[in-house]
Structure 1
């Protein structure tokens, strides 16, 4: 460049930027490469004194919301610098309109000499016709290149999400990125233990706020502080205090995230295009959801029980940390609305009771009032009775598997199964013979179609019968339903001594209260229980009097 006429002295700032999001090439566009190129240029221009270096590493060029660029422009406003040097136009920005505005309007207005080394552009030189053409064209090419890269990156990211690859820059609390595969999550032992404790505390009746207070009291670092302890440069706009602490919102965010059962839900938010960074919520049907992508931190059973608690209308006792044992589980048997807990105590006589919320709101239902202590006693008695009944079911199923009757039934059913399989083969032979007769002209097309449909229908009916017989043999041989996992679920509580929140949530779906204070409890795994009872009753060698009750305990 010709500098003979450039006698004015300038205080210059070099501006360096790189972003893989824009498709920048790591080698040629590296910060070090840009710095070396500009330094070599300044050695040939003694009229420019390098004042400061500004670096935006990892910031896209599609907008100018970059920390160091903003600080550099502040120094321009304060008259500390009057010259800006970049490697090329794309380092300043890749937005055609905004980049052109800075070059053509803002920099000249503020008296700033702008130099783009590789583009051989210096605003201190007289403008030529080629400058007027080349500058807009290059800015337009940078903009188009960025748009093309953005489309490719979005497409690649969507493919990775659909395949169950984790693409977020930071792993959520409880996990780490696998050192051997950055798109796979592995358990962080310390943080995952904290997550498990959070779920168990909620099952024990703690509210989200109480869980947050407990974690803060124990000095457990919040997700943001924990990322910092691990050396992460993670930043969030939600931080309001010098040190981030646990809040009820942070706790709920973890409790509701299916990532902790091994499921990735990605693509929940997006932006309109590469120029607009403001995000919007993506409809749920367009999320990328993939199960079993990594090791779960909590069991699905625990996650679903906590989700059930969070959906319920639950409140803690005044001055207490935990939720009432039956909070969110009690409903009116007539209108189906939830029952709310009321206080009608005096100084000498504490009295709490449940009342239908429909009655409270004057919607036509009656009160269905029942005292809390009576309800809890009745529920506790019913739970114990139901567990005893389930233990009887387990013992009876074990006995059925040993009975000679069962062996005879299995043999008899197996003979029926063989007969049905032979029947299917017979109809298949008929179908082949029918085709030969039609080919030889022995039957008409109408008869061929009619008989063919009939044979197909008979073969289908026999196939359905085979499936049913195979399932019946499995029941007779195993004598159990769902491998009796549901029985083990209840057996954990066979030695219970009192009703507590965790027990109520894990064993009970809902409690229905009738007007006469009669209650009906709908236990979990009702279908499995009734299926086991039906199997027991189908074995006529066993006395029906030994069969357990229906499983819907009424008191």
Structure 2
């Protein structure tokens, strides 16, 4: 390359400031770096200078806009010299910095100068530079550890750790840590939850909002002046992932949820999700947009989420129907256009392998009629004979629940006993191995088998203990159920919202034939109360007589 072309090359003056120290706009530190670099360039006759600034970027990452531009120009042979105030401005990742100094800059013909550290690659690289890189990286790690401790302390105090509130909220003008409801956005959130309860999935909800040209969160925030990046390339484009993210946010119940995610390391800033067991939740820290019952119902619906059929149709019962024999879900199949194969449910085990179970086929229309009939009967019982209905269900619950809890306790005790037995078995085979009665190979096989079994049992214990401890009195759930029913008139048709509000699951038995007629039993489990046994005529008569007696008693007191 000619001397003339060398003179045309750029002298890159590079400034970088970490987010930990940044202020609004171009900070004082950037200004200070700029003055030092420009003065050094002038005093040492560096020509064709150009300033590159990365304000608010950590030294552990090299994906920085200004630095990337320098490297691009360097690859094109347009950079002669790169000057920084001090060596740490280049970066705090010793491996990357070492590669740049010893390989990349040399390959691109770039002279590197760090003013304050007296580094100039024109004079060679001192043996002290790698040590300095170690120190710079250690400083970044130490700073990261301090920030994490401050972050942890803040999160444990109940303050929200998110920089910006989720869609539907905004920061209070009086307290940046307090969230208040952003009404226009909150209405969209409420509608999304309502559509989910009605039986619509994220894809269907997203398509509907897009078709109605409802602003996406980013579009809405831009419209109200909130900084949130660039507007989307396609206006009003809601994607299923946006909907799914909104539906799982417990913050909409009024809770602060901290430590949902973290970074891999001080070098790798990629976000990774934490397990729910590591979350810290503070309840009722801000106004709720969605009530807790609705939120729990939506999570239950989402847990049983299902794919659409090829026709795009989704049943209001999808995710709720189970096979009595194998316990697996029953798949919804929209059927064919002809009446010989109407929409129906079929055992998923049978669909995958006919040898494992039977079809347990039940038509969607038949299921709809049976569930609607059951709901009408249960709702009528409650509206007309509330006290008698509650008494009957509690009596039934007491008997059934006691059997279930007894079985659970036996299962728990059996697991604990087996864990203790395995400890003794491992000790025994260890002793047999030591004295030569058991080969090393056999010992390893048995030991691994026992340890695997013990590990699985120990993992089940907390869940079993939690279930026994958390089992509540059914009368509480029953009263909630009764209140819900009393707020609804007699159902004339089934909707997705009605089904998911009241139905927990539906268990379908295999069809049986008697005298040439097909019979099939289904068990309907209602939310919070399980199978409901309707009142028989004797119960209704007893309830009516009790009601008349109470009325007569009141009349006597009035007289």
Distance 1:314 1:9 in 2: 63
1:525 equivalent in structure 2:
528
Contact kept, 8 Å, 1:317 with 1:324, in 2: the verdict is no
- 1:84-129 residue CA offsets vs partner (Å, 9 max, x unmatched): 22222221112234334434554344333333333354455x56xx
For the pair 1:114 / 2:112, whether they are aligned, the reply is yes
Query: How big is the shift at 1:343?
Result: 5.5
Distance 2:121 2:213 in 1: 57
- 1:42-75 residue CA offsets vs partner (Å, 9 max, x unmatched): 3434x22343221112111013221210111211
For the pair 1:302 / 2:301, whether they are aligned, the reply is no
Larger radius of gyration: 1
- Aligned with 1:102: secondary structure? helix
For the pair 1:487 / 2:482, whether they are aligned, the reply is yes
2:18 equivalent in structure 1:
19
For the pair 1:34 / 2:26, whether they are aligned, the reply is no
Query: How big is the shift at 1:507?
Result: 0.7
For the pair 1:201 / 2:195, whether they are aligned, the reply is yes
2:67 equivalent in structure 1:
69
Q: 2:317 aligns with which of 321, 326, 330?
A: 326
2:179 equivalent in structure 1:
185
Contact kept, 8 Å, 1:163 with 1:290, in 2: the verdict is no
Distance 1:297 1:99 in 2: 49
- 1:492-516 residue CA offsets vs partner (Å, 9 max, x unmatched): 3224321111101101112233332
Q: 2:381 aligns with which of 389, 409, 413?
A: 389
Q: 2:502 aligns with which of 498, 507, 526?
A: 507
1:169 equivalent in structure 2:
163
1:211–1:346 Cα change, 3 Å: closer
1:383–1:482 Cα change, 3 Å: closer
Distance 2:543 2:226 in 1: 68
- 1:17-56 residue CA offsets vs partner (Å, 9 max, x unmatched): 11134x57999862222223323333434x2234322111
- Aligned with 1:54: secondary structure? strand
For the pair 1:339 / 2:330, whether they are aligned, the reply is yes
Mark the runs of 5 or more structure 1 residues left unpaired by the alignment: 1-6, 399-474, 548-555
2:435 equivalent in structure 1:
none
Distance 2:96 2:367 in 1: 69
Aligned length: 445
For the pair 1:251 / 2:246, whether they are aligned, the reply is no
Mark the runs of 5 or more structure 2 residues left unpaired by the alignment: 1-5, 391-472, 512-518, 550-559
- 1:250-299 residue CA offsets vs partner (Å, 9 max, x unmatched): 21222123222234444344344312334544444333444333333211
- Aligned with 1:375: secondary structure? helix
Contact kept, 8 Å, 1:62 with 1:95, in 2: the verdict is yes
Distance 1:201 1:346 in 2: 28
CA RMSD of aligned residues (A): 4.0
- 1:465-484 pair list within 5 angstroms: 481=476, 484=479
1:520–1:107 Cα change, 3 Å: closer
Query: How big is the shift at 1:78?
Result: 2.0
Query: How big is the shift at 1:217?
Result: 1.0
- 1:259-274 pair list within 5 angstroms: 259-274=251-266
- Aligned with 2:322: secondary structure? strand
Query: How big is the shift at 1:228?
Result: 4.4
Q: 2:147 aligns with which of 146, 153, 159?
A: 153
